[in-house]
Amino acid sequence: MACKGSRLIKHIKQQPLMLLGALIVLSISFLAVLAPWLAPYDPTHIDVRQILLAPSWEHWCGTDTLGRDVFSRMLYGARISLAVGFVAVGLSMLIGVALGAWVGYAGGKVDTIMMRFTDMVLCFPTFFLILAVIAFLEPSIWNIMIVIGLTSWMGVTRLVRAEFLSLKGREFILAAKSLGVSPLRLIWKYLLPNAMGPIMVSAVLGVAGAVLVESGLSFLGLGVQPPDPSWGNILTDGKDNIQLAWWLSLYPGLAILITVLGYNLLGEGLRDVFDPKMKS
């Protein structure tokens, strides 16, 4: 563990882009957690006297079509976007790791049947599958979290399965089997810890994908519902007033871009850290 920690620190020093990604992720998380204290206005307060005001010292990111402060709404929108990302990825990781560990260890017909089912689910375009499910449910933040989680486990399953198939033939696993270690203990204590590197990378990259999906759904009106703030529904106002209020499109778009970029840079850096070719 200490060796991995020192290798991670050394790699961060050698990879400025990974450090940049980590700083972006930490900064966005910091702003989201402290939104109630950092937001200068109530994000849901309507003031018809302040409609579509351009950015100024009073309203750093301007106001929207109902006179609400866009900067305050973006801070609270960060809380929602990251919450959706973390919960959805947590659910997909739970399902994907459990199924991948099961089929990777069991092998045989179980592996064949489950992988064919996984391949079949992967054939459906994920975003349209989410749209189809949301159409039958009431749009809410919890439904979005659950639906995204339940439609994004396939890649994790394939990844964990591949890691388990690679590890099953290693000497330390064969030695543990010869000592009579139970399958559950073998998976939990020996196989899963050695597959955590790729799982962590997949989780970090998954947050970026979940943020994009949530923003897309909210933009289409199927995600977070007003008056709750979301980067996606702020963009919707921007689309309707693109010629009058450029700030309604620019600032939430930049927030989505920077957040996804940060998680992607961090994920790619972690992938290099846990790449077996880099291990000494």
Determine, yes or no, domain membership for 256: yes
pLDDT band at residue 279, thresholds of 50, 70 and 90? very low
Determine, yes or no, domain membership for 38: no
Distance, CA of 270 to CA of 4 (rounded, Å): 11
pLDDT value of residue 276: 47
Q: Across all residues in the chain, what is the average pLDDT?
A: 85
Determine, yes or no, domain membership for 4: no
Domain count across the chain: 1
Distance, CA of 72 to CA of 108 (rounded, Å): 55
The backbone region for 52, taken as left when phi is positive above 0, alpha when psi lies in -120 to 50, beta otherwise, is left
Range of the domain at 138: 17-31+69-275
Determine, yes or no, domain membership for 264: yes
| List of residues 6+ apart from 95 with CB closer than 8 A | 149, 150, 153, 156, 157
Which CATH number is 204's domain given?
1.10.3720.10
pLDDT band at residue 7, thresholds of 50, 70 and 90? low
pLDDT value of residue 27: 94
- Number of residues assigned to the chain: 280
Q: What is the mean pLDDT of residues 33-55?
A: 90
Alpha-carbon dihedral sign for residues 163, 165, 171, 173: positive
- The whole model's pTM is what? 0.86
pLDDT band at residue 196, thresholds of 50, 70 and 90? confident
Determine, yes or no, domain membership for 12: no
214: amino acid identity, one letter: E
Determine, yes or no, domain membership for 51: no
